[in-house]
Amino acid sequence: MLGIKDADSAENNPNSKNIVISPISCALPDAKPNAPKLSGKVLEIRIRPGSYLEGFYKKDTVTEEFFCNYEVNPDFEGAIIEAGFAIAARGEKGEIRAIEAPKHRFFIASLFLPQLSSKPGKPHPIIVEFLRAASKWKTEKAEDGVLE
């Protein structure tokens, strides 16, 4: 994705020279025993102004649920941006929490888990927009015959 040949994750290969995915640097203080280092609600996720995410949430700060031990190594932020992605959400200390690809019809990856805060009658805005994009694509790809 970034053109780094030996890119790896600290979970798979802690000795790789290019650890793009590294252990969480700042664990949540109230994590339950045996839970991942970053788990539970994080109140202050900052959404980048002008991003797709901001359009979906219609807010500049959101609360999200996490359940993870690894995050994007900040040393690779420049490479991520050069590869055409935007940092769409950040944690309190500027940590990368979601990226999006502005040139793509819909490409969003987040460290948080929107599925955990979705409720009947109160779906998560990212998932609503994902389905909306998929629905549009369903029609377009049938018309274009893109796979033929």
Partner 1 sequence: MADPLQIGILGDFDPASPNLPAIEQSIKHAADKLKIAAEVKWLATDSLITPDLETRLGVFDGLWAGPGSPYKSFDGMLRGIEFARRRDWPFVGT
Nearest approach, Cβ of residue 69 and partner 1 (Å): 9
Q: Would you list the DSSP string of 60-84? A: SEEEEEEEESEEE-GGGHHHHHHTT
* Residue 92 token pair: 């309190």
Nearest approach, Cβ of residue 30 and partner 1 (Å): 17
* Residue 139 token pair: 């029609």
Q: Using CB under 8 A, list all residues that contact partner 1.
A: 1, 9, 11-12, 67-68, 70, 101, 104-110, 112-116, 118-124, 126-128, 130-135, 137-138, 141, 146-147
Q: Which is nearer to partner 1, 2 or 27 (CB)?
A: 2
H or E stretch at 42? strand 38-47
Q: Which is nearer to partner 1, 27 or 101 (CB)?
A: 101
Nearest approach, Cβ of residue 9 and partner 1 (Å): 8
Nearest approach, Cβ of residue 29 and partner 1 (Å): 20
Radius of gyration for the alpha carbons in the chain, expressed in angstroms and rounded:
17
Distance CA(62)–CA(141), nearest Å, equals 34
